[in-house]
């Protein structure tokens, strides 16, 4: 898997938003993802990167939604929630400990 080299930003530089960085990272994964680079089918511990790789594979057309769900024993709802979280909160949205915060935010429309 390829990684991007990053350069330090000066204080005057405007860094990209987290969501923009996340979207760029997903696009990079999607263009270089292969079945061999995906998490193994028996994966039980779903860290952010593994979830993102599966979302990117489906978006890139490497796997269909049904194939991804069957391969990883996921429900369609669970996979779609990963996609929604990436779209609305970037990669940090895939962190399990943040789900309650995001769900509360979605219900009220404002932060608590």
Q: What angle do CA 96, 99, 100 make, to 5 degrees?
A: 125
Q: Which residues contact 104 (CB under 8 A, 6 or more apart)?
A: 112
Whether residue 22 has pLDDT greater than 90: no
Q: Domains plus CATH for the chain? A: 18-108 (1.10.10.10)
pLDDT, tens digit, 9 for 90 and up, residues 28-51: 665 667 888 899 999 999 999 999
Q: What is the pLDDT of residues 86-109, one digit of tens each?
A: 888 888 888 876 555 555 556 666
């Amino acid at each position: 898997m390829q990684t991007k080299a990053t350069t330090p930003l000066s204080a005057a530089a405007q860094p990209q938003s987290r969501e923009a960085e996340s979207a760029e990272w997903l696009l990079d994964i999607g263009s270089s993802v292969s079945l061999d680079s995906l998490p193994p089918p028996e994966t039980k511990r779903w860290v952010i990167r593994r979830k993102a790789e599966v979302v990117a594979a489906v978006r890139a057309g490497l796997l269909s939604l049904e194939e991804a769900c069957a391969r990883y024993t996921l429900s369609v709802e669970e996979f779609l929630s990963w996609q929604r979280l990436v779209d609305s909160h970037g990669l940090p949205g895939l962190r399990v400990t943040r789900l309650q915060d995001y769900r509360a935010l979605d219900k009220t429309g404002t932060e608590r």
